[in-house]
Structure 1
Amino acid sequence: MQQINEIIINSAISILVILAGIAVKSIKEYLIKKGGEQSVKIVEILAKNAVNAVEQVSAETGYKGEEKLEQARIKIRAELNKYNIGMTDKDLDTFVESAVKQMNDAWTEK
C-alpha cells in the first residue's frame, strides 16, 4: 500500500513538473512577443535573486510556504516597477516556481 502511495505521489509530482515547464514556456513566449526577450531575462534574474534572498532569511524570519512566495513577489514587483514591466501574480508565480525548482535541482545535485 505504501509503495502504491509513493508511485502515485511521484507520478503526480512528475506531472506537475511537466505542467510547470509548459506554463513557463508559454509565458516566456507571450512575454517575448509582448515585451521582448530582455524583459523575460530580467524577470528570470529577478526571480532567482528574490528566491535566494527569501530562502536565506527564512530561517531568521520564520517564513514558510505561502509567506515565502509573497515575500518573493514583493521583492520582484519592486524591481519590475523600476523597469516598467507589468506582470500578473499568476505569471510571476510561474517564474518564482521555476527559480525554486532550479535551486532545488542544484541543491540535490551536490
Structure 2
Amino acid sequence: MNQLPNVDALSISLDDLLQLRAPSVYLVRVEGDSMQGAGIFSGDLLIVDRQVQAQHGHIIIAAVNGEPLCKRLSLEHGQIVLRPENKKYPARYIIEGDSFEVWGVVSHSVRSH
C-alpha cells in the first residue's frame, strides 16, 4: 500500500503564493463563457489586483456603464476595446458617453474540480 508523503513537507500557503494578503487583491467568481479561450470558465475564481496598471493585452475586471465584466483589454489606434476570448461574442468598444472604470487586472484563476 502506498503511503502519503509527509504533509508538512508539502505545505504551501496559497495566501503567500498568490499574494492574497495584499490589501489591493480581491477575488471574484466568473459567470459566463466569454473568456473560455483564455482558460477562464464559468464558476472559476479570479484573483484580481487593483494596484496593477492595466495595459494592452491584460485580462481585466471593469465596469462599463455600471455593468461588471471580465475581458481582455485592447488599445487600438487610441480606442479602448474589450475583447472576449470566445468567438460567440463581439468585442465591446468604449465609445463617447460610456462610463468605463478598470477595477483590476486578473493575475490568477482557481477552478474547483
Q: Which has the higher strand share?
A: 2
Larger relative contact order (Cα-Cα within 8 Å, sequence gap ≥ 6): 1
Higher helix share: 1
Q: TM-score, normalised by structure 1?
A: 0.31
Q: Taking structure 2 as the reference length, what is the TM-score of the superposition?
A: 0.30
